[in-house]
Structure 1
Amino acid sequence: MEMLQVLTYYLSEHPQIVNFRWSHVHSWGSTWSFLFLSISFYILLSLFLHFSLSLLLPGRRPIPLGPIPAIHSLSMSLISTTIFSGILLSSSAEIRDTRWFWRRSMTTPFQWYLCFPLGTRPSGRVFFWSYIFYLSRFLHTLRTYFKILRRRKLSIFQLLNNSIVISMSFLWLEYSQSFQVVAILLTTSVYALVYGYRFWTEIGLPGTCFPFVISCQIWVLSCNVLCHVGVLMLHLFKGGCNGIGAWVINSVLNGLILILILNFLLGMRQREIDGSEEAKE
């Protein structure tokens, strides 16, 4: 019980968490210029590494990375687990502290998870973990460089997907967007599993007989679509949700990611069909 109290304090009651405020002055990476420059740098560096290796090291001989990818996967799994636990405890604390206000506005905890009241500011426990999630997306992009150094084909889907997720995470904070608590809970729970699975396979243990990572991504996006419908219904019939403009952009970007994943899966399926036909010939 004492250990649980310590974890609860450091994940939801620490003064730096409770007093957090998203600010262009005090929060690292919180400006629009940083967002655009960081995404541009990520894409340009990825393309530069890809074409430089193709010119300097002909063939597809991979560059040995040793245990670095496995360490990265294990670290990201632990980070995702921490963010999931932190935002779950923090949202519970916010519900506890503002229950008196909800009784007056006839708001339920379920509605709050999907729809922040109008006038919500990006401060407090939940937005602290939203900020940590935003920063963790930059660590996530390191997998692109690992893939390039291993001389695997550079995927435009991966570049766009990572850029879109970083942009959405920024919009959540900048506009105190509704729905972000559920989105972070879903994403970090799946990332904890996905990166744990990647660590499992990178240390030489057998993987699954189906595309585990893609399946998890499709599951998250499917849940996101259902939650977006809930946000829209609450916005129309419950007096409005905060950050609805950013939510619209978020919905469009989620739709784009879903299209990219489906296109990627169709491409994989077509390559399998072509390969089987060539084998028969």
Structure 2
Amino acid sequence: MMSQRSLIYYLSEHPSIVGFRWSHTQSWGSTWSFLFSSIFTYIVLSLFLRLIIYYRRKPVPLGPIPALHSLFMAFISLTVFTGILFSAAAEIRDTRWFWGRTRTTPFQWFLCFPLGTRPSGRVFFWSYIFYLTRFLHTFRTFFAILRHRNLSFFRLFNHSILILMSFLWLEFSQSFQILGILLTTSIYSVVYGYRFWTAIGLRGACFPFVINCQMFLLSCNVICHIGVLLLHFKKGGCNGIGAWGINSVLNVAILLLFVNFYLKSHLKRPRRATRVVT
């Protein structure tokens, strides 16, 4: 079994992690053209697959694929959570001199990167891995289509915006991303673990578990964005504040769309209350 020291090394001290740098020439998927073409391809494939499946009477049997996907996503979410947590602790340890000189606490750093921060090093490596996992997250759309479930605008919008926001985090070294990734991966490891649990036939919760988790995550994101805004004016500026503004608007849009979807799809049809669109 891997020791704690080995785990810390492979998650925060490996040369590939310490020496990571977000680059349009070296990092796969790091260009704007790739970002928009991948989102466009995802939407077109979803609509095309929906058109093909529309005239099929029975759902396409997927066997254990959705369950295995949920298990893998739970594992990768937990790995990213642990990796960025260890990496953030290592960055704080290596830059102790910085905190006293700038009168900044580690928690403030989690919300507000200093001006001039570049997308390199440990935490940005795990931010990059998180960005790549957003593409794996879109597979749930195809599973839903093959199962003859509705292809909603919210589903396409939500997945597309998640990819865009995680790209902006890296491209502009946006503040808040460490805490954002910690919150998202912790919730998603639980959500995907629960989905695996129910996919293999075990009994689910007697309340809309996944929806409550997602509402909690979205609410935490909104609160943290308020914290970034306050620190931006208090500390004289947070890095990537322009991208943060776009991120905030998109988060509010997702929250409003999610609440609207919940009111329309779940309060009117209580028997489907445990279904979710992400």
**Which residue number in structure 2 is paired with residue 205 of structure 1?**
202
Which amino acid in the other structure matches residue 83 of structure 2? Answer: G
User: Is structure 2 residue 126 aligned with structure 1 residue 151?
Assistant: no
Higher helix share: 1
Deviation readout 1:62-109 (Å, 9 max, x if unpaired)? 110111101000000000000000000000000011110221111110
**1: CA distance, partners of 2:266 / 2:117:** 45
**1: CA distance, partners of 2:152 / 2:183:** 24
**Which residue number in structure 2 is paired with residue 30 of structure 1?**
30
Residue 270 of structure 1 and its aligned partner are, at CA, apart by 4.7
**Which residue number in structure 1 is paired with residue 21 of structure 2?**
21
**Which residue number in structure 1 is paired with residue 52 of structure 2?**
52
**Which residue number in structure 2 is paired with residue 136 of structure 1?**
133
Could you tell me which of 46, 67, 72 is aligned with 2:69? 72
RMSD, aligned CA: 1.5
**2: CA distance, partners of 1:269 / 1:69:** 23
**Which residue number in structure 2 is paired with residue 107 of structure 1?**
104
Secondary structure, aligned partner of 1:241: coil
Which amino acid in the other structure matches residue 119 of structure 1? Answer: G
**Which residue number in structure 1 is paired with residue 189 of structure 2?**
192
User: Is structure 2 residue 27 aligned with structure 1 residue 42?
Assistant: no
Deviates more, 1:123-132 or 1:199-208: 199-208
Residue 157 of structure 1 and its aligned partner are, at CA, apart by 1.0
Which amino acid in the other structure matches residue 237 of structure 2? Answer: G
Deviation readout 1:93-138 (Å, 9 max, x if unpaired)? 0001111022111111011000000000000000000000000000
Could you tell me which of 245, 252, 257 is aligned with 1:255? 252
Identity of aligned residues (%): 69
**Which residue number in structure 2 is paired with residue 161 of structure 1?**
158
Residue 269 of structure 1 and its aligned partner are, at CA, apart by 4.0
Give the direction of change, closer, same or farther, for the CA distance of 1:160–1:2 in structure 2 (3 Å limit).
Answer: closer
Alignment coverage as a number of residue pairs: 272
Which amino acid in the other structure matches residue 178 of structure 2? Answer: V
**2: CA distance, partners of 1:47 / 1:2:** 44
Residue 272 of structure 1 and its aligned partner are, at CA, apart by 2.8
Which amino acid in the other structure matches residue 150 of structure 2? Answer: K
Deviation readout 1:174-204 (Å, 9 max, x if unpaired)? 0000000000000000000000000001101
Which amino acid in the other structure matches residue 27 of structure 1? Answer: S
**2: CA distance, partners of 1:72 / 1:102:** 41
Residue 268 of structure 1 and its aligned partner are, at CA, apart by 2.1
**2: CA distance, partners of 1:187 / 1:76:** 12
**Which residue number in structure 2 is paired with residue 278 of structure 1?**
none
**2: CA distance, partners of 1:120 / 1:46:** 37
Deviation readout 1:132-155 (Å, 9 max, x if unpaired)? 000000001001001111111112
Residue 206 of structure 1 and its aligned partner are, at CA, apart by 1.0
TM-score, length-scaled by structure 2: 0.95
TM-score, length-scaled by structure 1: 0.94
